[in-house]
Amino acid sequence: MQDSYVTLVDNSVLIGGCSKETFYDKCKPLFDYLKKKPVGVVTQSIKESVKKRVSVMPNFLPEDIRTLESNLELLRTEEIDYTKTEDNLVRVRELCSSLPPMIKDHIYLSKKKAEERFNARMNNVPRIFRSCVKDCYKVQTAKEYPPFSRYVEKTLLSKFFDYPPSIDDIMLLTEACQLREKYEYVFIASTDHHLSPIMSYSGVVETFVPDLIEEKLKVKCDWPDAILRAFKKR
């Protein structure tokens, strides 16, 4: 195993890095960094997936295509021997299958604890001031127990019940696990909530799923700007 690290760039980040309609501000700085330090990688399946996605995006302009091609040139294409991925594929599928009941329990327990904490805080506030601090206390409590945020709860339920991880998500994680046999640290840069933390506009951050991925698969999934900050600390 090489004593090194790489970031596997998801197709969501490849699109975000060239289209200003999709998380451009969070994605572009990573590609600027990769121009100076080539630690970004991609697989053939990711390249094929991103081409399929942009082919059906009506707002994807010719200049966006040129930027996408330029960004792809910054990434080294890793060859994956799929005849050796069976064990990792099984691990990834087992994790994805176990997520719905675990998320349901996580939401239930978090909301229960959050309600207790929120009510205790409100009980200590004189009645005349309760309407002034109620919303602030809700945000504060949600930062401790993210599913207390309606946005976080709704996103978890949508992403893992209504629209569960796709074949692309499963293959991306499987490929990342395969790369762990070659590199000491493997990051996945993604804006997909199936993989990376859920972040609300009020500052609530839910890391339940990426924490499980890191624990079970030894792969760290995060937003491209967060991965960039981690790289700069190394």
DSSP β-bridge partners for residue 9: 189
DSSP β-bridge partners for residue 205: 199
Domain end among 122, 137, 161: 161
Domain end among 131, 161, 191: 161
Domain end among 139, 161, 183: 161
Please indicate, yes or no, whether residues 119 and 152 belong to a single structural domain of this protein: yes
What pLDDT, on the 0 to 100 scale, is given for residue 1?
Answer: 43
Please indicate, yes or no, whether residues 9 and 52 belong to a single structural domain of this protein: yes
Please indicate, yes or no, whether residues 176 and 78 belong to a single structural domain of this protein: yes
Best CA proximity match to 38, nearest among 70, 14, 6, 67? 6
Burial of 151 per CB tally in 10 Å (0-12, 13-18, 19+): middle
What pLDDT, on the 0 to 100 scale, is given for residue 233?
Answer: 72
CB-based contacts of 86, cutoff 8 Å, min separation 6:
none
Q: Which residues of 104-118 are buried (b: 16+ CB within 10 A; e: fewer)?
A: eebbeebbeebeebb
Domain extent for 111: 95-161
Could you tell me the mean pLDDT of each successive run of 10 residues in the chain, 234 residues long? 80 92 91 94 95 90 93 96 94 97 98 96 89 92 97 97 95 96 95 96 96 97 94 76
| Cβ atoms of 149 and 204 closer than 8 Å | yes
Query: Angle 183-187-188 (CA atoms, 0-180°, nearest 5)?
Result: 130
- Residue 14: CATH number of its domain: 3.40.50.1010
Q: Has residue 166 been placed in a domain?
A: no
Please indicate, yes or no, whether residues 182 and 155 belong to a single structural domain of this protein: no
Q: Has residue 26 been placed in a domain?
A: yes
